[in-house]
Every structure is written in C-alpha cells, then in structure tokens.
A and B are shown apart, each in its own frame.
Chain A
Amino acid sequence: MAIGGGGSYNFPLESSGFNFKAMFPLTQKLQALPGFRYYPTSNAVSEYFGSLQVNYLILNSFRSKSYNKAIFNSNLPALYTLASFEYNHWLNYQPTKNTKAKENNFLGLVGAGIAYGRQSIRIYAELKYNPLWNESNTDFGVMVFPGFFKLKNSQLDCPKIK
C-alpha cells in the first residue's frame, strides 16, 4: 500500500486546497484509493470531499504485489485512467445557478493521472472531471510506499536455519 497527499485545484472556481489519499493495489492493473480533499474558507467555495477512486494502469503496471509492497514493472511513469465516487459537503453552501449542487452531494468523476518516481516514493498528478457540475480539478502530490523503507537487510530478522 501507499499513503500520500498534496495540493488540489478546481479550475473553474479557482479554488486551492489539499488532498490526502491511500493506495491499495487490487490487481496488476487496478488500484483502489480512498481519499479526502479539502478546500478551505479562503476560497469562494469551501468544501470537502471523501472519495473512493479506482485507477486503471495503462502504462507501467505492477510486476508483483504483496500485502505491503507493490512493485512497478519499471521506473517509467505510470499512466492511468481513473473513476472516482465522491461524497461532497459544501461548507459555505448557498443556492447558486448550479441547481444540481446542494449542501451534500454524491458525485462521479472520471479522469486520468500520471505517477512517477522510485518504487518507494512517487509524485502524482491527476486531472478529474465532474460531469454533473461540469467542473474539473487536479490533485497532485507525493505518494510514499512504506513497505520499501524497511532495512535492506531486514531479512536478517528472520530465524536462521542452523
């Protein structure tokens, strides 16, 4: 698995915020990412999102995966399409021209992303589109794979065969 976070930006609303997410490899091509995104009150629209995102790797999939490690095939960037199911709570809600947007909303987003780096730490950038509100946003940040931070000689901890 991996955990990470970084910045978020909503293009039409010009809102800046931040995001946190975790990544669980499901298969060699699929990842599940529960996440949280928050746009603070310094923006015209302040809101948070809880999300469950699924990434489908189309370039550089996993070579193998285990309970704590997911090894990419190569050090090439990983390119993926994504679909995200999100709960939105609009903190400073008021009725607007967008009549589909309420104080609490359930949304489906589609998009694509890219991740690049080492097996242990990777930067990511994603573009997502919300067809219900006709809004697009980006998430970017750093994803850390804690499974790769174990000591290289950690196998020494294993019982020795005498």
Chain B
Amino acid sequence: MKKTQKGILVFLVLLIFACSQERLFPVSTESEDLSKVNFVDAKNTLVDLGPKSEKLTIKNESQIPIITKNGNRIYLYQYHLATLDGKSVSYPYDVEIIELGSLKDMILFDKPTVSYGKILSTAGSFYLNATKDQNQLKISNLSYPSIQYRSNFGLDRDMNLFYGELNKENQFNWFPTKEIDTGGGPIQSREGLSISDDFYYIFPSTLGWINVDKFVNVATEKTTMVFKSLVPDLEKIALFVVLPEINSVMHVYSGKSFEIPVGMMANIMAVAKDTEGQYFSYIEKVKVKKGLTVEIKLSKTTEAELINALKVYE
C-alpha cells in the first residue's frame, strides 16, 4: 500500500475517535452562581423522571397473561400469590409493573447495574409487585409465576437472574441467584431463568425488582475514577457512569466509582435539582485510565433537554 493510502487510513481511524459530544449538552446563557442555589439531596433529584408504573387490578383469569407496555407477558395467577402469613389469595388483586428496558430508564429510575460493587451487563430490569386490599402479597411457595421477557439488548445465554435490594448504606444493589448447570442444550436454565431463541423466561421466587444480568468479565486491568465538584457538594449530585459498550450503568457514591476496565469509553452523567425544580447537568465522555479525576461543572438545563440528552441510551 502506498504511503498516501496508509496515511489516509490512519487519518480515517483517528477521526472516528476524535469526536466531541458538546452539542448534546445544553448550557444556560445566563450566568450562574451555583453557591446561592438550594439543591435537593441527590436521592430526590431524579424522582418523577423515570418510566411511569403500570397499575392494574386483576379480576379474573381472562386478564392473564398481563401484557405490559413493552409487550412482555406476565403469567401471574392467583395461585402464584399468598399473603405474607402464607394464606392463599383469590381474585381480585392489584399488580404494579415498572419496566426499565434501556440504560436511559435505569438512570432515570436510579437503578444502576451493580452487584456488590461489581459492574453488571444488563438485558433489562423491571419491578413486579402485587397487593390485595392494599396488603402486600408474596410469591406462593407452591408455584412461581412466569414472565416472557424480550430484551432490547438482545439475547445472551450467559445471563442470570438478579433480585434488587437496598443495602445497609441505602444504595441499590442486585444480588444474583444461583447458576444451575444444565449441561447445555437449546434452552439453558438457571435458577429462575430460561433462555430460548427469542425470549428470556423468568420464574421469580420473589416480588420486587428483578434484573436479567451477567457479571462483566474482561481480561483488562480495572481502575476506579474519582469525581470532584466545587459547587454543589457531590452528595447533592446524582452521578452516573454509563458504559454503553457493555450495557452497564453505575451510580457513583461518595465521589469514587466502582472498578471499571481500563481503556473503556465511559459517559459521565451528573444531574442536580434545586428546591424550585430547576435541573442542572454535566455530561462528559472519557476514556477510562488509571488515576482519572473528573471535575463536575453543572450548568442549568431543562427536564426536556435532560431527557433529550439521554436519548442515546434508549
């Protein structure tokens, strides 16, 4: 290959990586003095921005399967449910469903894909709950409901089922179910999860937050990222690191991320809100490297602009 052609090839490769996303990030034209702004606590920043829950009353079997907004099918019959003291349940009962089918949904609903500090690659998560006469129900020990779930991220046969919980630090965490070795075959089964050619079939043993995930196993070195903000304090900022390459998002607590593979492209998404409902944001794309410190510089934004900037994670 001639020198000129080689040069052009190198130039083309370089220009794909030499890219700025600045036009995605709106700024206010007004000068801002953030020190005078009363920010709400980070945990209240994204309230109301996430996908709305579906609530319905199941009066009889003809309403089953429940077909969700995203087209998933939930087979939750009365015999799948019991009261908390173990008594059987009859129709009607109330069901609540929240589907987080994209990284955007997970950011807005503050449901990062992390399990005990390790990042997960997700195929989607959702919330399923049932009550009767406003009393909490549980899954019966006799039989588990089933959910036919189509993931926006495609099918991955290494996925497992995880359940969500708040840990002692009040941080959201996914804990894995046990992996079952089925010896291969067309349909692979793990505890509570089967994978066919088109769908995940989920058999949850508990109500609440459910996630189809896998741990990210990459051979490369991992590191943490450090975040700083002069105004406001980090505790007032809902701070996320999005890893689109592996369908993963983490919430950064106390200014330090969990471990991320070195060399991976990470999108930083920081959001804060003041007591009057004004949003502020900061977004930056970085390549993960050792000793990386990111300074968060918030600027005013609107709810619509914020949602628009998250479109890339749909």
Contacts and interface: CB of A to CB of B under 8 A. Distances in A.
Specify the main secondary structure of chain B where it touches its partner: helix
A12 B284 CA distance: 12
Contacts of A44: 24, 308-309, 311-312
Contacts of B27: 95-97
Interface stretch (B11-19, B47-55, B252-260): B11-19
Interface stretch (A24-32, A62-70, A129-137, A148-156): A129-137
Contact of B23 (A13, A81, A112): A13
Contacts of A97: 22-23, 25, 27, 299
Contact of A95 (B12, B26, B309): B26
A123 B51 CA distance: 42
A12 B21 contact: yes
A136 B25 CA distance: 17
Given A59-B5, A81-B8, A136 B311 contact: no
A27 to B, nearest CB: 18
28 contacts: A11-B16, A12-B20, A44-B24, A44-B308, A44-B309, A45-B24, A59-B5, A79-B5, A79-B8, A94-B26, A94-B305, A95-B27, A95-B29, A96-B25, A96-B27, A98-B22, A98-B23, A101-B23, A111-B15, A112-B8, A112-B12, A127-B12, A127-B15, A127-B16, A129-B15, A133-B22, A134-B20, A136-B16
B29 to A, nearest CB: 5
A96 B24 contact: yes
A45 B285 CA distance: 17
Contacts of B308: 44
B62 interface: no
A129 B12 CA distance: 9
Q: What 5 A-B pairs come out closest when comparing CB atoms?
A: A12-B19, A98-B22, A134-B20, A97-B22, A129-B15
Contacts of B12: 111-112, 127
Interface in A17-68: 43-45, 58-59
B182 interface: no
Given A12-B21, A96-B27, 18 more contacts: A12-B19, A12-B20, A13-B23, A44-B24, A45-B23, A95-B26, A97-B25, A98-B20, A111-B12, A127-B16, A133-B20, A133-B23, A134-B19, A134-B20, A135-B23, A136-B15, A136-B18, A136-B19
**Interface size classification for chain B:** 20 to 34
Interface residues of A, number: 25
Nearest to A79: B5
A14 interface: yes
A133 to B, nearest CB: 6
Contacts of A127: 12, 15-16
Interface of B: 4-5, 8, 11-12, 15-16, 18-29, 285, 299, 305, 308-309, 311-312
Contacts of B15: 111, 127, 129, 136
A44 B19 CA distance: 16
A94 B26 CA distance: 7
Nearest to B282: A97
A108 B282 CA distance: 29
User: Which of A43, A45, A97, A111 counts the most chain B CB atoms within 10 A?
Assistant: A97
Nearest to B12: A127
Contacts of A136: 15-16, 18-19
